[in-house]
Amino acid sequence: MKNTIIALGVSAALSLPAIANDNESTIIDGMDFGPLAQLVGTWISAEAGGVDIAPAQKELDVAAGSPAVTPFYETITFEVAADATNASDQYLVALYYKQEVFRKADDSKFHDQRGYFIYDKANQKVYNSFCVPRNTCVTAEGAAGNHMTLVASERGIAESDYMAKNATTTDFTMSIQIEDDKMTYSQTTLLDIYGQTVSHTDSSILVKVE
């Protein structure tokens, strides 16, 4: 969040029977969203909130790049977007999402993220493709399920020339677990910034409210 993207990193795997829910419960507007169907709606932080650990900026009273801890709360809204077919044979359905993150200390928004969770039913894959207003965009992918680990694709990171020179993102991993109306995620972004390689991590628990 502070100098780059939000990233979501713990490995998890799910067998096909666990994600083969009643088909009707995963179909929205005639499209089968598989395990992503349960995301549709609005999610807010559980009482404990989340924690962001990012490289400190130079104006803080700590060494630039050292860990700066920010407790936060957030809202994430998912809605049906559209379907698409890539190269005539990869059929995808997408959820659009909006994520807004606020400091507990003063209620100021310090992270805004817009993107898509995309489901490839035939190949049982999920993609998280998103951008943040720091001129950084990421596509991460992994096996579909209620527990998912999504890792930046080989060419899945795009950024401006300035970010490439001063705060380049070199890797991104997200772990997300969905259990009924509870969602837990952790994420790690690897950065080269202030002449060093640092990890930017976020973790949070959210509950579905509508």
- Dmax over CA atoms of the chain, in Å, equals 55
76-91 per-position pLDDT tens digit? 999 999 999 999 999 9
Task: Report the share of the chain in percent with pLDDT over 90.
Answer: 83
184 neighbors 8 (Cβ within 8 angstroms)? no
pLDDT exceeds cutoff 70 at 72? yes
The tokens of 174 are what?
Answer: 């997200």
Which residues are paired to 5 by β-bridges? none
**Is residue 70 within 8 Å of residue 110, measured between CB atoms?**
yes
> Residue 111: phi, psi to the nearest 5?
-150, 135
Assess whether pLDDT exceeds 80 at residue 12. no
pLDDT at 6 over 80: no
Q: What would the two tokens of residue 16 be?
A: 């096909």
Instruction: Render pLDDT for 112-149 as a digit per residue (tens, 0 to 9).
Output: 999 999 999 999 999 999 999 999 999 999 999 999 99
The class (CATH top level) of 16-208 is mainly beta
| pLDDT for the residue 24 | 60
